[in-house]
Chains A and B, each alone.
Chain A
């Protein structure tokens, strides 16, 4: 299974990554190799196995609806490169 360059560019755009022409070719090879490796799973006969996202038989634990105070605002914002008016300041965005 070989990815096209257009597919690599699409994935890069989704990840907001800018790739050089050389990188596009290199990542195309690497990503294709990863997909080929994962594709080996296709060889398994799954005709009598129902699809699942979980391999162990667990169910999600539920939490009671009891609020608890989170972090102080200063700590919430402590990793932000830019802060203004107790908010994260980011480059302008209109539609993503």
Chain B
């Protein structure tokens, strides 16, 4: 039996986070929230006699992404018309870039099961989004409605080389790219709102072959989960066909979320003929070396660099590093906590941020921005815990109150009398009291039920309202119980 391998390339469209549209000053509105056709002007409505003017910020954001991907920037790039008729495209063409895109030849590092891989980026270019179409079946009538709010919103198209080999790698690539877009504040990356659209091209060939098979493109994927499943499904379909000696037809397919299958949308015979030609309304886009260098100099730490620093310099567990990096806002918060720590180690901060803090955020469906917790205050809490001023369990309660009230840890500890007590005589007295008041449990312990240790420990902590130094309680309890057992034998 012949082994097959999948060859997959990705085309990704990301809406850029500008305030106005790509070629006109219309505001960019949330197309899932705004009333239809409230952000439309003669330019984005495709009125005759209007002229497009390029949004500088869209170019800036595109350059940011291209540079982060290590692309070569074209000092002069050209916009082109991509011609086709569809009601969501008012002009009858989309302004895009074709022969001379803004940037080419980049790399996106992704982490796979077998380590890091570098996926080559073929091109990064700017274009404009289309309007939104709704298909209506009502009262025996069938028609479509067109909302042009989104028409002309800047889009960044990022095309990879066919370097991906599995559905898992496709997902890793898409997720890494989204983290990058968010880190650079270039796009919201929100797939459900359509701000990030991922279109994989999949072909299959005998393993080791260097020729490419016929490719199938998948559209309508609105989550990473659908992406991974649709790609896995499509690979299986193609391997099945080739194994049976059938051929794969070139086509575009959609993903049926409910049935988890792909269905044909367009075959090769109906493929578009876009008749690209240079956009006569826009002179070439010139990007000066000074502009490029100023953007390069202002790039933040990139996600894969950050992940390496967390593991290599801060000693975090790889899983924690990955989790932090996956959320740029959380990682920024973590970095500020680490910067403010005086005694607690960074590893402890990572455990707390990815554990307690994340749990609290998820529980309350909150984001870091609304949380009344400063990184400095959080660092102070961890320092106090390490210093032994409060114990770990108490610290969790203090964190909860800090998040809700915004009070500093020191105030909560004082007000609630939570300060940890490490007085050995006081602890010895309470341990003795607990043993004295629970003769039945003590008998059971002596007769071999050693799991009662934790029960005694719980009793001591309850009596001290959680303030006793846990380490000292354990030591004292161990000593007393051993005495008891020895006294028996």
Q: Do A and B bind each other?
A: yes
Q: Is the CB of B78 within 8 A of A70?
A: no
Q: Is the CB of B37 within 8 A of A87?
A: yes
Chain B positions within 8 Å of A10 at CB level: 273
Q: Is the CB of A93 within 8 A of B144?
A: yes
Chain B residue at smallest Cβ distance from A93: B144
Chain A residue at smallest Cβ distance from B288: A59
In the complex the two chains form, what is the Cα distance from A15 to B85 in whole Å?
A: 8
**Shortest CB–CB separation between residue A46 and chain B, in angstroms?**
16
Please, how many residues of chain B have a CB less than 8 angstroms from a CB on the other chain?
54
In the complex the two chains form, what is the Cα distance from A76 to B152 in whole Å?
A: 15
B86 within 8 A of A: yes
Most buried by B among A15, A66, A84, A96: A96
On whether A65 and B36 interact (CB within 8 A), knowing A58-B283, A84-B145, the answer reads no
In the complex the two chains form, what is the Cα distance from A77 to B146 in whole Å?
A: 10
A48 within 8 A of B: no
Of B48-56, B62-70, B105-113, B323-331, the one touching chain A: B48-56
In the complex the two chains form, what is the Cα distance from A94 to B264 in whole Å?
A: 13
B247 within 8 A of A: no
Chain A positions within 8 Å of B36 at CB level: 73, 85-87
Chain B residue at smallest Cβ distance from A51: B99
On whether A53 and B56 interact (CB within 8 A), knowing A59-B286, A69-B27, A90-B87, the answer reads no
CB contact between B40 and one of A15, A61, A70 (< 8 Å): that residue:
A70
Mask: chain B, 28-69; 1 = CB below 8 Å from A; 0 = not: 100000011111111011000000011111110000000000
A14 within 8 A of B: yes
B-contacting residues, A40-93, CB 8 Å: 53-54, 58-71, 73, 76-77, 84-93
B412 within 8 A of A: no
In the complex the two chains form, what is the Cα distance from A90 to B133 in whole Å?
A: 10
In the complex the two chains form, what is the Cα distance from A58 to B285 in whole Å?
A: 9
Q: Is the CB of A65 within 8 A of B55?
A: yes
In the complex the two chains form, what is the Cα distance from A63 to B35 in whole Å?
A: 26
Chain B positions within 8 Å of A62 at CB level: 53-56, 59
On whether A67 and B283 interact (CB within 8 A), knowing A76-B148, A77-B37, the answer reads no
In the complex the two chains form, what is the Cα distance from A58 to B282 in whole Å?
A: 10
Chain B residue at smallest Cβ distance from A13: B273
On whether A54 and B284 interact (CB within 8 A), knowing A61-B53, A71-B42, A91-B143, the answer reads yes
A18 within 8 A of B: no
Chain A positions within 8 Å of B286 at CB level: 59-60
Count how many pairs of residues, one from A and one from B, have CB atoms less than 8 Å apart in the complex. Answer: 131
CB contact between A66 and one of B20, B35, B45 (< 8 Å): that residue:
B20
Q: Is the CB of A16 within 8 A of B85?
A: yes
Q: Is the CB of B278 within 8 A of A88?
A: no
Chain A positions within 8 Å of B57 at CB level: 64-65
A21 within 8 A of B: no
B147 within 8 A of A: yes
Mask: chain B, 297-312; 1 = CB below 8 Å from A; 0 = not: 0000000000000000
Q: Is the CB of A89 within 8 A of B144?
A: yes
Q: Is the CB of A88 within 8 A of B145?
A: yes
Q: Is the CB of B40 within 8 A of A65?
A: no
B19 within 8 A of A: yes
Chain B residue at smallest Cβ distance from A65: B57
A22 within 8 A of B: no
Q: Is the CB of B37 within 8 A of A65?
A: no
Mask: chain B, 301-343; 1 = CB below 8 Å from A; 0 = not: 0000000000000000000000000000000000000000000
B18 within 8 A of A: yes
Chain B residue at smallest Cβ distance from A77: B37
**Shortest CB–CB separation between residue A29 and chain B, in angstroms?**
21
In the complex the two chains form, what is the Cα distance from A32 to B86 in whole Å?
A: 28
In the complex the two chains form, what is the Cα distance from A75 to B278 in whole Å?
A: 31
B135 within 8 A of A: yes
Chain B positions within 8 Å of A94 at CB level: 135
CB contact between B56 and one of A63, A91, A95 (< 8 Å): that residue:
A63
**Shortest CB–CB separation between residue A77 and chain B, in angstroms?**
6
Q: Is the CB of A70 within 8 A of B144?
A: no
CB contact between B145 and one of A53, A64, A85, A95 (< 8 Å): that residue:
A85
On whether A14 and B273 interact (CB within 8 A), knowing A62-B55, A65-B55, A92-B135, the answer reads yes
In the complex the two chains form, what is the Cα distance from A73 to B35 in whole Å?
A: 10
Q: Is the CB of A95 within 8 A of B284?
A: no
Chain B positions within 8 Å of A68 at CB level: 20, 25-27
Mask: chain B, 119-158; 1 = CB below 8 Å from A; 0 = not: 0000000000000011100000011111110000000000
Extra contacts, 16 of them, besides A60-B282, A60-B283, A68-B26 (Cβ < 8 A), are: A14-B85, A59-B283, A59-B284, A59-B286, A63-B25, A63-B55, A65-B57, A67-B25, A68-B20, A73-B37, A85-B145, A86-B37, A90-B144, A92-B142, A93-B133, A94-B135
B residues whose Cβ falls under 8 Å from a Cβ of A:
18-20, 24-28, 35-42, 44-45, 53-59, 76, 78-79, 83-87, 133-135, 142-148, 265-266, 273, 275, 278, 280, 282-286
10 A/B residue pairs, CB under 8 Å, sorted by A: A59-B283, A62-B54, A65-B19, A66-B25, A67-B20, A70-B42, A71-B45, A87-B145, A88-B146, A89-B145
